[in-house]
């Protein structure tokens, strides 16, 4: 038999980490390439330095020819954010197209303050108009939308790209985790199935191999060893109980002869008219005690004439009559009367005459008619082929044939 190659649990976890890292790396590189190709070929975006070029052109060619009175923002590119100050050292804003956040940064720059702000780094150019008015131009190196109408509606392209990239990275981690988790789940199910089989004492259906992880395979082998030892222990206990029962029965037979003699003499003594009523009562009580002592074990005697109401089938639940134990039929040989049964985890062969079919739950046999004699059954009663029985049931399914009452 070819020896299977097993992997350790540590290797499984290491493979998970490597797979996750590679998946994240591939996603990041792939998504970056997609971004670059999208920017270059889609026509939806402008280069990241487009705003810097527009501000430079405005500062050099457009603004020097204007005054505060003739300032016309339509001559500036829409990518330029501006703030018009009355003088180089003034904080009075004459005109601006900035929002509050960008204007605050521009004011700090005008005053020479340097503070950190979340988001893109803002860059500035200053242009002096003909009347001494100063125009502060603000820009960044974000990738802008080509359509100006989209710039105030949609988040900037880098933010969208980062959000989608993070989602893709999370997806890669989830995929890798799901794959490893599914593998470990399959391995755990093998261990769970074997443990459940041992718990219900069904070692034949248990599979104690097939794991791909070394630690799980070792656990399965340990379960198999435990099951084998449990089977051996119960088999020894079964055999010991059988021997003890036989020894007690033999001992009771040896005690029965002298006790019978004593019992006979006691009965003769009880007929003596010289004894009082109280003495006779005590003597009769002693006789009853001796009868019990002569048979300390109630031995169920197998009726040699008993016939099962139907042939046994594999899977039938039966009663081993002489020891009053429940078992399941495993094999019914065509020739011979030794039936292979399993009681708990013990497999043994039992004479056919020592087996009784068990009734289903909520089934009651109220009376049995045998050769014209009707009896109310008790724990020692049995029925044979040709008997008439009356069955009472509270089950929803009706009893249509006699076999329906058996397990």
**Spatial contact of 314 and 327, defined as CB atoms under 8 Å apart:** no
**b/e burial code for range 147-169 (CB count within 10 A of at least 16 → b):** eeeeeeeeebbeeebeeebeebb
Spatial contact of 206 and 227, defined as CB atoms under 8 Å apart: yes
Q: Which of 100, 83, 94, 77 is nearest to 151 (CA)?
A: 77
Q: What's the burial of 250, exposed, middle or buried (CB within 10 Å: 0-12/13-18/19+)? A: exposed
What distance in Å separates the CA atoms of residue 189 and residue 311, rounded to the nearest whole number? 38
Residue-wise pLDDT for 370-383, tens only, equals 777 887 776 566 66
In a domain, 173, yes or no: yes
Per the structure block, which two tokens stand in for 15? 């493979």
Residues 44, 6 within the same domain: yes
**Residue 336 lies inside a defined structural domain of this protein:** yes
Same domain as 391, residue 362: yes
Work out the pLDDT band at 297, boundaries 50, 70, 90. Answer: very low
Model confidence over 274-290: pLDDT tens digits?
Answer: 666 666 666 666 666 65
Give the lowest-confidence range in 133-147, 155-169, 350-364: 350-364
Tally of CB atoms within 10 A around 3: 5
Residues 322 and 334 in one domain: yes
Q: Counting beta carbons within 10 angstroms of the beta carbon of residue 277, is it exposed (0 to 12), middle (13 to 18) or buried (19 or more)?
A: exposed
Q: In terms of domains, do 57 and 132 share one?
A: yes
Q: Print the domain residue range for 176.
A: 1-48+154-212
Together in a domain, 208 and 244: no
| pLDDT value of position 298 | 47
321 and 399 share a domain? yes
pTM of the model: 0.52
Residue 252: is its pLDDT beyond 70?
no
Measure the CA dihedral 254/257/263/264, to 10°.
180
Let me know whether 37 and 171 are in one domain.
Answer: yes
Say yes or no: 401 and 326 in one domain.
yes
9-34 pLDDT, tens digit per residue, is 899 999 999 999 999 999 999 988 88
In this predicted structure, the answer to whether residue 120 has a pLDDT above a threshold of 60 is yes
Question: Is 308 domain-assigned?
Answer: no
Is residue 309 included in any domain, yes or no?
no
What is the domain count for the chain? 4
Secondary structure in 3-state letters for 126-156: EEECCCCCEEEEEECCCCCECCHHHHCCCCC
Query: pLDDT class for 261, splitting at 50, 70, 90?
Result: low
Q: Are residues 204 and 227 in the same domain?
A: no
- The arithmetic mean of pLDDT across residues 338-343, rounded, is 82
Structure token pair of residue 72:
């016309």
């Amino acid at each position: 038999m070819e020896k299977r190659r097993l992997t350790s649990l540590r290797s499984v976890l290491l493979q998970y980490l490597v797979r996750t890292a590679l998946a994240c790396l591939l996603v990041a590189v792939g998504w970056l390439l997609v971004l670059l190709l999208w920017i270059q070929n889609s026509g939806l975006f402008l280069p990241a330095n487009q705003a810097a070029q527009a501000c430079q052109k405005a500062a050099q060619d457009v603004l020097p020819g204007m005054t505060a009175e003739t300032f016309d923002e339509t001559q500036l590119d829409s990518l330029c954010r501006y703030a018009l100050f009355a003088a180089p050292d003034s904080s009075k804003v004459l005109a601006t197209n900035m929002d509050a956040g960008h204007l605050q940064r521009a004011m700090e720059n005008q005053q020479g303050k340097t503070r950190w702000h979340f988001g893109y780094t803002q860059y500035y150019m200053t242009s002096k108009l003909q009347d001494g008015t100063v125009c502060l131009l603000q820009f960044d190196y974000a990738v802008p939308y080509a359509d100006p109408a989209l710039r105030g509606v949609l988040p900037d392209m880098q933010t969208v790209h980062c959000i989608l990239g993070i989602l893709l990275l999370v997806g890669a981690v989830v995929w890798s985790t799901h794959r490893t988790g599914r593998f470990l789940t399959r391995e755990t199910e093998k261990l769970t199935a074997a443990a459940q089989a041992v718990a219900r004492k069904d070692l034949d259906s248990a599979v104690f191999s097939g794991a791909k992880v070394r630690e799980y395979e070792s656990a399965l082998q340990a379960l198999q060893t435990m099951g084998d030892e449990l089977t051996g222990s119960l088999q020894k206990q079964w055999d010991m109980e059988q021997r003890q029962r036989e020894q007690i029965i033999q001992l009771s037979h040896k005690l029965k002869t002298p006790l019978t003699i004593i019992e006979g003499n006691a009965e003769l003594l009880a007929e003596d008219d010289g004894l009082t009523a109280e003495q006779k009562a005590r003597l009769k009580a002693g006789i009853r005690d001796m009868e019990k002592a002569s048979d300390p074990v109630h031995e169920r005697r197998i009726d040699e004439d008993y016939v099962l109401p139907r042939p046994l089938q594999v899977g039938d639940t039966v009663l081993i009559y002489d020891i009053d134990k429940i078992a399941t039929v495993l094999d019914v040989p065509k020739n011979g009367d030794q039936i292979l049964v399993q009681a708990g985890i013990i497999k043994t062969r039992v004479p056919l005459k020592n087996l009784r079919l068990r009734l289903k739950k909520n089934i009651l046999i109220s009376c049995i008619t045998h050769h014209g004699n009707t009896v109310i059954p008790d724990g020692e009663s049995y029925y044979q082929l040709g008997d008439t029985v009356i069955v009472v049931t509270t089950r929803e399914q009706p009893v249509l044939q006699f076999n329906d009452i058996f397990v």
